[in-house]
Amino acid sequence: MLMLFGVIMKPKKSVLIVEEQDELRRELSRLFEEHQYEAHEAGDIEFLWRKTELAGFDLILIHWRPEWYPDRFRVRAVCGKYPESVVIVAGLLPDYELAVDFLKAGARDCLGDTLSSTELVDACEAALNQHFRALRPWYNQSVMAIAAAIGLRDVETEEHCQRVSNTTVRLCRALGLDQEKHLQAIRWGAFLHDVGKVGIPDSILHKSGSLDPFERQQMRRHPEIGRDLLARIPFLEESIPLVLFHHERFDGSGYPQGLRGEEIPLEARAIAVADTVDAMLSNRVYRSAQTWETVLQELQDHRGSQFDPWVVDVALGHRETVFQDYISGSLVNLEASV
């Protein structure tokens, strides 16, 4: 995940290129880097086989060489060694049966050596998209299971997270973040932004009055608790900044790290607006829901202090779309929105 001045840029996909010849390997690396991949290199199958820590690449491109034929069983094993990665074997395979063998072992595709550079990248992109679409239902079920745990502690928090997720995704689209996979990470992060509250005692979480200094300090631990929980789930890695930084403030007075301005990831600056809007428009144990006019005034009053001015301007400029759940008075079904 690439960060520049705290802003999460559209995440680069990672590719591991396995090719024996140095010049060709570097050429393939440059090709994928030109298409916004983070390219890594391995000189032979033996290297890839030894490095069990290499799991986690989006794409593993094995550029088949004829001299590897005696070691084809190891290539076959590599095809199934990294289930979270898309493995593609490219090059002139000696026979159709070997290609079928690799595919049965777990390779996503076997490509000939007549493809142009553009066709090679396009084929890899198509395989990655297909892989993500296939995994997405399983990932969604995992997120729903986590949400169910939140709901057992606090139904209000679960419903709040649903609405914040919807609003954050719409706002991020308006901000120009439109890559499907990245928006899914934003959706999950916004939906789970309060997951750390499972570690907060009920006496604090459900207190009807104001929190004392100690209780407030305990409540402020929930972003870091959430980060620690999600850190154990690899597919939620890109969602963690929304969980950790959604209470940071543009002027640096937020928590947990006191980040300021563009040190705060853009997605977290967006969720700060969505989170505040929903909190103000919801009934809480300590106060009734505020009016829409009060919410709009709050965004304007804290533009530049609590909130990024640009994010506020975009949100208000696209209010009919960004805040449609509240304007229409309806909520999108949780199962469909996640």
Catalytic center residues: 197
Tokens of 65: 């060489």
Closest CA to 128 of 117, 120, 139, 140: 120
| Pairing, β 37-42 against β 109-111 | unpaired
Closest CA to 20 of 75, 102, 96: 75
Q: CB–CB of 82/55 below 8 Å? A: yes
Dump the DSSP string for 5-30.
TTEEPSPPEEEEEE-SSHHHHHHHHH
Query: What interhelical angle do 96-105 and 72-79 show, nearest 10?
Result: 40
Task: Return d(Cα 291, Cα 280) in angstroms, integer.
Answer: 8
Q: CB–CB of 79/68 below 8 Å? A: no
Q: CB–CB of 86/131 below 8 Å? A: yes
Dump the DSSP string for 265-309.
-HHHHHHHHHHHHHHHHS-BTTBPPPPHHHHHHHHHHTBTTTB-H
- The neighbour count for residue 104, using CB atoms within 10 Å, is 11
Q: In what side-by-side order are the strands of the sheet with 59-63?
A: 37-42, 13-18, 59-63, 86-90, 109-111
Q: Report CA 264 to chain centroid distance, whole Å.
A: 16
